[in-house]
């Protein structure tokens, strides 16, 4: 007589349960992997942004320190534009007494969320994703200021001993008629020809010298 022995194995229910468990484990592993890749990507992007910002600021700082370099005594103004999100400056790097607009005059400006540098070839982006840019200016004494004359280091904008005598005298009660033929500008176009208005510049002085007197 032959004795039959039961063979070991898995039922269909056990196989389905095992497959479901493996699917859950694989999904969890894939989720962790994707999260790790995303985290790595964000970290790499953050590092790249920080590196780009550092390089851009170093370049901007180095060039700003060169502003006003004038070895030949040309009388070159250091700053041309001084705004809260825009600065333009110039320097005579080669010392030839002639300003090269493609290399020796530079503008930095924030347009949208892109910091750009313009040096004669259009405003080229140097760093993106800039949320804000705030430029602060100081006068010769090191005090923060927003007055244009103080920003540019000029002795003007005030009536005081030693200051530049740049003065405009206005008679607010004097009436006059707008006559395009008397304009000092090359343009004679105006919609106000013949209008009678009140308030007229009667005298203009530049560096203490009278350059205009109303007749």
At 122, the pLDDT band (50, 70, 90 cuts) reads confident
| Count of the separate structural domains present in the chain | 3
Which of 102, 117, 151 is where one domain is finished? 151
The pLDDT tens digits for 66-98 are 988 999 888 888 888 888 888 899 999 888 888
**What's the CA gap between 85 and 112, in Å, rounded?**
11
The boundaries of the domain holding residue 31 are 12-61
Based on the fold, state whether residues 87 and 147 are members of the same structural domain: yes
E strands, 79-118, in order = 79-82, 86-90, 105-111, 114-118
Q: What is the chain's mean pLDDT, rounded?
A: 83
Is the C-alpha dihedral spanning 141, 142, 145, 151 positive or negative?
A: positive
Does 120 reside within a domain?
A: yes
pLDDT at 37 > cutoff 80: yes
Based on the fold, state whether residues 57 and 91 are members of the same structural domain: no
Does 157 reside within a domain?
A: no
Over residues 106-131, the mean pLDDT reads: 88
Based on the fold, state whether residues 137 and 184 are members of the same structural domain: no
Listed residue (92, 72, 68, 94) closest to 82, CA to CA: 68
Does 7 reside within a domain?
A: no
Size of the chain in residues: 215
Q: Contact, 82 vs 137, CB < 8 A?
A: yes
Does 5 reside within a domain?
A: no
Does 32 reside within a domain?
A: yes
Is the C-alpha dihedral spanning 134, 137, 143, 144 positive or negative?
A: negative
Instruction: Work out the widest C-alpha separation in the chain, in whole angstroms.
Output: 142
Does 207 reside within a domain?
A: yes
């Amino acid at each position: 007589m032959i004795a039959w022995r039961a063979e070991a194995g898995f039922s269909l229910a056990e196989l389905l349960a095992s497959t479901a468990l493996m699917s859950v484990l694989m999904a969890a592993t894939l989720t962790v992997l994707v999260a790790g890749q995303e985290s790595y990507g964000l970290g790499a992007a953050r590092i790249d942004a920080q590196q780009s910002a550092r390089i851009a600021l170093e370049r901007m700082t180095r060039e700003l320190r060169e502003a006003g370099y004038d070895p030949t005594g040309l009388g070159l103004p250091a700053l041309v534009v001084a705004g809260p999100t825009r600065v333009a400056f110039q320097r005579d790097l080669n010392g030839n007494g002639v300003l090269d607009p493609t290399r020796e005059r530079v503008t930095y400006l924030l347009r949208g969320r892109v910091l750009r540098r313009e040096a004669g070839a259009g405003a080229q982006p140097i760093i993106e994703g800039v949320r804000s840019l705030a430029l602060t200016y100081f006068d010769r004494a090191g005090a923060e200021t927003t007055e244009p004359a103080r920003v540019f280091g000029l002795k003007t904008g005030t009536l005081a001993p030693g200051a530049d005598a740049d003065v405009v005298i206005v008679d607010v009660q004097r009436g006059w008629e707008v006559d395009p033929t008397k304009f000092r500008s090359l343009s004679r176009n105006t919609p106000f020809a013949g209008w009678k208005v009140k308030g007229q510049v009667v005298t203009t002085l530049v560096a203490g010298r009278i350059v205009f007197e109303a007749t």
